[in-house]
Structure 1
Amino acid sequence: MTGQTAGGAIRRHDPRVRGFASDNYAGVHPEVLAALALANDGHQVAYGEDDYTTHLQEVFRAHFGPRAEVFPVFNGTGANVTALQSLTERWGAVICAESAHIQVDECGAPERVGGLKLLTVPTPDGKLTPELIDRQAYGFDDEHRAQPQVVSITQTTELGTCYTPEEIKAICDHAHQLGMAVHLDGARISNAAATLGVPLAEFTTDAGVDILSFGGTKNGLLVGECLVVLSPERVRSIKYLRKMSMQLASKMRFVSVQFEALLAGDLWLRSASHANAMARRLEQAVKDVEGVTVMRPVQSNAVFATLPREVSERLQKRYRFYFWNEATGEVRWMCSFDTTEEDVDGFAAALVEEMRGSATIA
């Protein structure tokens, strides 16, 4: 299906095609597109001195408290690397889960670009605890060891699990007692708030998080994330690090206005709640299918499951999704703000068909 605008651009994809590979596959929420158009007319000062970025400080402070400072960036990797640099010395190290995005999916950027050492800990569910942190929190003042200076957690985790506010507070209290700061990778922070049913500040500012990467693109934005400084006394040189890390947008108003559209009202929560609900619907639709095992509780917009590999490979020809663990055959199915009940039901029906076909072949 194609369409052409007056300017000559041609639609080169079929908008009827749906998938469960990533919430990044979804388009831009219509309310965000409208906000972009609203900010487009006329001229505004570049590099963040525009009216939209100035007002964005108030928008984020309404969620995270009066000390919050906001720095829009281009993407999640840039947000994470810049945040971690702001908390570490050149000899610093970051303790994180073995499954953390900064360890697995950022092509070594924290270490190669950020110049810091990652100290990883295996976790059964993607979540750190004070006890797990202590596996790497040692060697302070040992000149032969990279110095543990930061604990980085992800909310929700890469395995779809969700920290409670109490769990995050315990981590922050423990890290601070050891002289370390806490970074939260919030690529899906809105999904966590929707699951927990609490304000964003309850498991960030109030729990003791020092800096967070606030995700937007996985929740309906075109482009952009935000660095949110919650403990200014622990963070240094963000504006210089953002520029040095190639994360300073010249036309920043177009990043900032998206976050205003997302956070000034309830769009962030509506979109995340819907994505979470679709994941729960998918879990309910497949959990009793013989041969399918849902691997862990569905606490966000992700469903992790195992099923026969040949079934997954056939199903991938009908709906795109990824293998999460090639060795075990575990797959990940992601829902988005625009996933419909019909999408979920159609996918579940296709899965049942392929499972029956596998049984017939056997």
Structure 2
Amino acid sequence: MKSFASDNTSRVHPKIMESIVNANNYDAKSYGYDEYTQRAVEKFKKLFGDDIDVYFVYNGTAANILGLSAITNTYNSIICSEWAHINTDECGAPEKNIGCKIISLSSSDGKIKVEDINKHLFAIGVEHHSQPKVISITQSTELGTVYTKEEIIEISEFAHKNNMYVHMDGARIANAACHLKQDVREFTKDAGVDVLSFGGTKNGMMFGEAVVFFNKNLSEGFKYRRKQFMQLHSKMRYISAQFEALLTDDLYLKNARHANEMAKYLEERLKELPIVRITQKVEANAIFASLPREIIDKLLEKYYFYIWNEEKNEVRWMTSFDTKREDIDEFVDDLNKIVKNVFK
């Protein structure tokens, strides 16, 4: 079965697999005191500057929850989109592990705006209410859209004016960078983001994410927090070596650029089928579309993907670094055959 379900289903990039094999050639210090980790951290500092702290963890949920835990207390609340991963796909991890209340804002495109956030700040200073402390945004969003640098600056300035922080879930940050044609620093650190989850798994790595603090004061005690959250990998080099490879010669951008290009190619091919209605802007590596349920069911017999909204018969098709044009051509041709058979 060819998968268009998620970039999580893609293979490990050969160069990253090679980095894992190379890290396995001999013993190395444990818990991040190895040379691979030091080199990977230096790669991040080349991206964002020397005045940052970087911590590697195993998966995206851990990166988000650990990053948020460093900038909140249990009486705080976190404001995010209704589609945010921390709200929909992390099994209540923020509430359970941090103790914070999640305030989700409705959004038609996955992005949130200052005017919507502002409505939830009325309770600041009132002890009967959870205190808003973090605005969490996703780049690119769960609906495949991308915040502009200007939108992020506006949110960051608003947050800091109200004594709040900005957290960015960057599981697909490289896809956003390719769409914006900007360095990742421009729309993160330079745009006022305080804490970033920098994704690796969805962009060719086997496993591993990074928590990046742009304000080093916020990372005080984080190494102990990471240990308490059971994310201090003893053989850290197997995460670090992957990041070193991902950030060498812009591999992270090459992977994401190809995934984005394949999504745009899929969009173009789908225009041949009037029965398919694309429901979101195609800005990263995701296509959201609605089509008749009987066609969806037939297509699922050969291809693996998710039905995003049962009521609207909306599906999500995702591309990755290893998606080929031939894969898309075959997919669209099969979809076209199904349409003709169903409506013959």
Look up the match of 1:37.
21
TM-score by length of 2: 0.98
Deviation of residue 336 (structure 1)? Answer: 0.8
Q: Which has the higher contact order (CA 8 A, sep 6+)?
A: 2
SS state at 2:185 partner: helix
* Mapped pair 1:73 → 2:30: no
The one-letter amino acid paired with 1:174 is F
CA distance in 2, matches of 1:88, 1:307: 42
Q: Are 2:96 and 1:106 aligned?
A: no
Q: Counterpart of 1:316? A: 300
Aligned position for 1:298: 282
Residue 137 (structure 1) shift = 2.4
| Length, aligned pairs only | 344
Distance 1:98 1:77 in 2: 17
The DSSP-based 3-state class of the residue aligned with 1:158 is: coil
Aligned to 1:263: 247
Quick check: 2:53–2:219 contact (8 Å CA) kept in 1?
no
- The structural deviation recorded for 1:146 is 0.7
Alignment identity in percent?
A: 47
Alignment-derived partner of residue 307 in structure 1: 291
Q: Does 1:87 align with 2:55?
A: no
- Asked if residue 224 in structure 1 is aligned to residue 224 in structure 2, the reply is no
Cα distance in 2, alignment partners of residues 234 and 136 from structure 1: 24
Deviation at 1:236, TM superposition (A): 3.7
Where does residue 124 of structure 1 map in the other structure? Answer: 108
Give 1:172's aligned residue: 156
1:339 corresponds to 2:323:
yes
Cα drift, residue 265 of structure 1 = 1.7
Letter aligned with residue 213 of structure 1: S
Rounded Cα–Cα distance in structure 1 between residues aligned with 2:119 and 2:294:
39
Q: Paired residue for 2:271, among 287, 292, 295? A: 287
Partner Cα separation in structure 1 for residue 100 and residue 221 of structure 2:
16
Deviation at 1:264, TM superposition (A): 2.4
Give the distance between the partners of 1:321 and 1:237, measured in 2 at CA: 41
Aligned to 2:135: 151
Determine if the alignment matches structure 1 residue 97 to structure 2 residue 64.
Answer: no
Determine the structure 2 residue equivalent to 1:245: 229
- Which residue number corresponds to residue 186 of structure 2? 202
Secondary structure of residue in 1 paired with 2:136: strand
1:69 Cα deviation from its structure 2 partner? 1.1
The answer to whether structure 1 residue 214 and structure 2 residue 198 are counterparts is yes
Pick the aligned partner of 1:163 from 143, 147, 163: 147
Q: Is the 8 A contact 1:272 1:337 kept in 2?
A: yes
Deviates more, 1:339-348 or 1:35-44: 35-44
Amino acid at match of 1:318: K
The alignment partner of 1:119 has SS state of strand
Whole-Å Cα distance in 2 between the matches of residues 129 and 280 of structure 1?
A: 26
Q: Does 1:25 align with 2:9?
A: yes
Q: Cα RMSD (Å) of the superposition?
A: 1.0
Q: 1:254 aligns with which of 238, 242, 249?
A: 238
State the partner residue of 1:138.
122
Q: Please show how residues 11-22 of structure 1 align to structure 2 within 5 Å.
A: 17-22=1-6
Shift of 1:24: 0.5
CA contact under 8 A between 2:208 and 2:239: conserved in structure 1?
yes
Counterpart amino acid of 1:37? Answer: V
- 1:341 and 1:288 mapped to 2: Cα distance? 16
Instruction: State the alpha-carbon separation in 2 of the partners of residues 76 and 54 from structure 1.
Output: 21
What do the CA deviations read for 1:318-342 (whole angstroms, capped 9, x no partner)?
1111101111110000001100000
Query: Aligned with 1:118: secondary structure?
Result: strand
1:169-198 Cα shifts (integer Å, max 9, x gaps): 111011000000000000000000011111
Residue segments in structure 2 that go unaligned for 5+ positions in a row = none
Q: Which residue of 2 aligns with 1:57?
A: 41
Cα distance, 1:129 vs structure 2: 1.4
Q: TM-score normalized by structure 1?
A: 0.93
Flag as ranges the 4+ runs of structure 1 deviating above 6 A.
none
**Structure 1: gaps of 5 or more residues:** 1-16
Distance 2:221 2:290 in 1: 45
Answering whether residue 322 of structure 2 is matched by residue 327 of structure 1, we say: no
CA deviation vs aligned residue, 1:67-120 (integer Å, no higher than 9, x gap): 121100000000000000000012111000011000000000011122111111
Paired with 2:218 and 2:7, the residues of 1 have a C-alpha distance of 32
Alpha-carbon distance in structure 1 between the residues aligned to 2:76 and 2:210:
23
CA drift at 1:237: 2.4
Corresponding residue for 1:4? none
